[in-house]
Amino acid sequence: MVAGAVDIAMFRKATLDDVRLFREAVMEIDEEDDEDEKCEKENDEYWSDRILIKARDVARSSAQNSLSGKE
């Protein structure tokens, strides 16, 4: 009977340790995914902003050239 109680206690402790380690691993994976998503969003915003700025600059310079008679 005592041996059974010890077995249950050992099993419970091992199970709790496994669950704790699993939860920590899941949290680490989620944090890595969040960082990857942030980097992707920053890169997307960077390129889209750069494209919009470049298009605006080209439109302005072509408008100025046509107003001044240069092409």
The predicted-structure confidence for 3-47, as pLDDT tens digits, reads as follows 778 888 889 999 999 999 998 888 888 877 777 676 666 655 666
Report how far residue 69's alpha carbon sits from residue 63's, in angstroms, rounded to the nearest whole number: 10
pTM of the model: 0.43
Q: Are 71 and 65 in contact (CB under 8 A)?
A: yes
DSSP annotation of 8: H
